[in-house]
Structure 1
């Protein structure tokens, strides 16, 4: 838990608004994330989760707490069962030094970069989990948009071009080191925008560490978390980001920080693409573009966090090593372009 945050005002506010009886000792910070700050608020009656933006420079819309609440509300209206229910949104920065929101707590466990202590996962279970994860992604991509109101969360026309332009611009704003491979990959993306125009609801950060799993049945996904970048756009852009996080055993160690998919039993990236294609009507012929986009996006996210660290706005020592993720991502992208393999 960050020592620079004052929790007294927050607790008083939550006790008043939620009619609960909690104190500062009931607040603990969830460890392991690289983006928004997430806390558990334990009271005698109930458990809540609190999310607020990280310290330092805001990154586009990724830390807009109000927008994330809007996404969760829209998913509730759409009848999507795996999105936590939002409870409260507060715009007043005086309460918790930034806007924040409260949502329900979903019991379960999360796979980050190692298996939690006391849990054993066999290769067969990992294979089932990897299929369940892609089934979950497919379900999101195939949600009805108009009647549910989800269509209002994004602007699908021109989505791919805007994303390539936006992430390219973000990289150069956050640039700290000369990494020619990544810049070559950005140039390639800008010249290879696909003609196909696909539309669906997309999560934009879909990987194992954003899934709450049932410890009694590993393949059961109880909830999907971190909806701050969700929108309406090309589902294959979402799949490309997932593939970029979906590391394999032969990938550089720096790229294994964000997903545990390299352990035995998990589907390979090629198998993920094949499985997704078998259960979708989308044209998968240009997946190399979407994968390279995903790699560049992951690199830019890491670069933005690394810059915050260098500027003194983030003290987590893990952030200091993220420049290696940026460098490895650029080299991975160029290798994939040269070999035409994902």
Structure 2
């Protein structure tokens, strides 16, 4: 594809080219000698001449690049402190990624699960390393911000989500994953409880209205459950910088089975458009404001055309996932307030979460798709 800029290399020549890694002083420190001893007991030899390095980016899990058995692998573990219910589940992610690679070429293989939190401060995974480009925030850099780039990325997202939802969970041993029956109502109730917990029991007015709407709306019609990523968005995809196809889809710690609309509308909740209120302009979770990106509605229609799935019941899912996103940003802000992180990005997340609840009311009142 024309117009692609060169990808910068890591400052240390030992590391794979194009990988963005933190300086050692900025890394979350783990007990690497202890981890090495543990891994050796499982036939996994951590290279003593290649110190592990933490990847740049991410708001939750810690991911480290390391050399094990003469190949690159990723050690992945949850953040410090109390975890929201159902999130950062390493055992769930291992269950999915230890099998999904058999069906999806872009699913990295999970090789090992350690459930002993004493080894690395929390359970962790060893996952296959896939090289490529991750687009963080609202920019497509180092790609060229052209109409061609935006169109290609929009199309790739459609194709990738369609491929995930086409997987037969039974064929990869995931036929009992999750509880798809009653998925909508249970998920809505769960996020209402999380909202109450993170707000200290006093929900903001917009959140109260959103919860009331979700409680009273007609439950979407039951559909055949599909495999859900549960946090599908562009920065959870490692992209081949030349073809702009997925090299890997990562962050499966919340994967489950349920209605395909949940994954679709989760992606749309991150998708900012010109004309959106300020909170969606500041969100910067997707570079969808760049030239060539589809609108939310056009993307949903393209997905429906590719799968044959109806969008008739999309509104309840759209409200649910938009409300959920507001709660997530308030949860992230609470980690800053409690001292679990000093990352300056978290400072404004509480206010952003409140404004996203207001935006959820726009979706309810159909002022916006």
Q: TM-score of the superposition, structure 2-length normalised?
A: 0.86
Shift of 1:170: 0.8
Decide which of 112, 117, 121 is 2:136's aligned counterpart: 112
Q: Distance in 2 between matches of 1:125 and 1:3?
A: 34
Q: How far is the alpha carbon of 1:244 from its aligned partner?
A: 0.3
Decide which of 254, 264, 267 is 1:239's aligned counterpart. Answer: 264
Give CA-to-partner distance per residue, 1:255-314, whole Å, 9 cap, x none: 333111221111110101111111223221122221111111111111112112211122
Deviation at 1:120, TM superposition (A): 2.3
3-state SS of 1:132 partner = helix
TM-score by length of 1: 0.92
Q: Is the 8 A contact 1:75 1:83 kept in 2?
A: yes
Secondary structure of the equivalent of 1:50? strand
**Structure 2: how far apart are the matches of 1:253 and 1:30?**
30
**What is the 5 A alignment of 1:96-107?**
96-107=120-131
C-alpha separation between the residues in 2 aligned to 1:274 and 1:114?
Answer: 23
Identify the structure with the greater helix proportion: 1
Q: How does 1:182-261 map to 2 (within 5 A)?
A: 182-198=207-223, 199-218=225-244, 220-255=245-280, 256-261=283-288
Deviations 1:63-87 (A, max 9, x none): 221111001123134x121110111
Matched, 1:161 2:180: no
Aligned-residue offset at 1:147: 3.6
Match of 2:61 among 36, 42, 62: 36
CA distance in 2 between counterparts of 1:12 and 1:69 reads 21
In 1, Cα distance between equivalents of 2:361 and 2:140: 34
1:265 to 272, 292, 303: 292
Question: Cα distance, 1:119 vs. partner?
Answer: 3.3
User: Which runs of structure 2 are paired with 1:1-342 in the superposition (5 Å)?
Assistant: 1-15=26-40, 17-23=42-48, 26-42=51-67, 45-77=70-102, 79-115=103-139, 118-175=142-199, 179-198=204-223, 199-218=225-244, 220-255=245-280, 256-342=283-369
* Cα deviation code 1:172-215 (max 9, x no counterpart): 11115752112211211111143411221111100000001011
Q: CA deviation at 1:145?
A: 2.9
How many residue pairs match? The answer is 340
C-alpha deviations, 1:130-172, integer Å up to 9, x for none?
1111111112112213343322111111111110011111111
Q: In the alignment, which residue of structure 1 is the partner of 2:6?
A: none
Q: Distance in 2 between matches of 1:240 and 1:3?
A: 33
- 1:14 is paired with a residue of what secondary structure? helix
RMSD between aligned residues: 2.1
Gaps of 5+ in 2: 1-25
Q: Residues 19 and 289 of structure 1: is their aligned pair in 2 closer, same or farther, counting only changes over 3 Å?
A: closer
Partners of 1:333 and 1:281 in 2: CA distance: 27
**Alpha-carbon contact 1:161-1:193 (below 8 Å) kept:** no
- Name whichever of 25-34 and 101-110 sits farther off: 25-34
Change (3 A) 1:263 1:18: farther
